Structure 1
Amino acid sequence: MYVQEKTILNRLKRAEGQLRGVQKMVEDQKECIDVITQLSAIRSSVDRIIGVIVAENLKNCLENPEIDKENQSKKIEKAIEMIIKK
């Protein structure tokens, strides 16, 4: 497992733990604003995970270009769209 993969898995596990925490908050009938605050933090965390994955994919496309230039361009465009899509 390479470093980037470990980073992504650690971030996913952290987000999973945060979600479990929110479930507990709902079960314990915590204040709405506190639940929303935690959900916003989870959303930010997931957005960062997406960014890391897309950036790694884009980096891979640039470092290991395909022979087919058109296919290479499509992959890069798709990665850029995914970054901007947010």
Structure 2
Amino acid sequence: MAGDKMGDNTNGVLCLSNTDDFRKKLISRINRIAGQLRGIERMILNHVKCDEILNQVSSVKSALNGVAKVVLEAHLKNCVVHDIKAGLEEEATSELILTLNTLIEKKGKKINESNNSIIRKIEQQIETMRKSIEKDDCCSSVLRDISIIKGELDSMTRVILEGHVKNCLVRDIKAGLEEKTIDDFLYTINKMVK
């Protein structure tokens, strides 16, 4: 909401809908995402095939995109409409553009972290997002949280993908399994770039 840079909801508009049921459903979705993340961690610890782990990371990103769409819709219907009607169209549109740019921006930073470290950061961000929803902070802050989590998932994907290419792909091709290996790899990549 314009004027709501820190998410303090000072204009009296409920950013994330005016019902507790809406927030409960949103938190339930976030809890499922947190569960999926714990599943990925178990897969990594149990040395599950990289393709399967990457598919699960894609599923988490897809689930986050679903939450982002719901929150963005609530933001548009509640915050942006309210602010524009209140004569704050410049602030509302500027913040919306900033939020959208943050949400869709892809960062190609070099990764020096382990997957466990990345998972811990994502868990902390999920908890931050859950608390924001529970206290009805501005939906822009929830969308920024989603963007940060997606960036960390992209980092995890790059770490896993690099290891997969250098180890699994090479090993399986050397073992004469190139057709299945390439098919599996392309299937995984196609899911990742949706």
Normalised by the length of structure 2, the TM-score is 0.38
2:60 is the counterpart of 1:42: yes
- Cα distance in 1 for residues equivalent to 2:96 and 2:56: 34
In structure 1, what is the equivalent of residue 88 of structure 2?
A: 68
Aligned ranges for residues 4-83 of structure 1 at < 5 Å? 4-60=22-78, 61-62=80-81, 64-65=82-83, 66-75=86-95, 77-78=97-98, 81=100
Aligned identity (percent) is 22
- Per-residue CA deviations over 1:4-24 (Å, capped at 9, x if unaligned) read 211210110000000000000
Judged with a 3 Å threshold, the aligned counterparts in structure 2 of structure 1 residues 5 and 32 are, in CA distance, closer, same or farther, namely same
Extract unaligned runs of 5+ from structure 2. Answer: 1-18, 106-194
The RMSD of aligned alpha carbons is 2.3
Normalised by the length of structure 1, the TM-score is 0.78
- Cα distance in 2 for residues equivalent to 1:46 and 1:6: 16
Judged with a 3 Å threshold, the aligned counterparts in structure 2 of structure 1 residues 33 and 76 are, in CA distance, closer, same or farther, namely closer
2:71 is the counterpart of 1:85: no
Higher relative contact order (CA 8 A, sep 6+): 2
The amino acid across from 1:19 in the alignment is L
How far off its partner does 1:85 sit? 3.0
Q: Which protein is bigger by CA-based radius of gyration?
A: 2
Aligned length: 84
The amino acid across from 1:68 in the alignment is L
Bigger helix share: 1
- Cα distance in 2 for residues equivalent to 1:19 and 1:56: 25
How far off its partner does 1:78 sit? 4.9
Extract unaligned runs of 5+ from structure 1. Answer: none
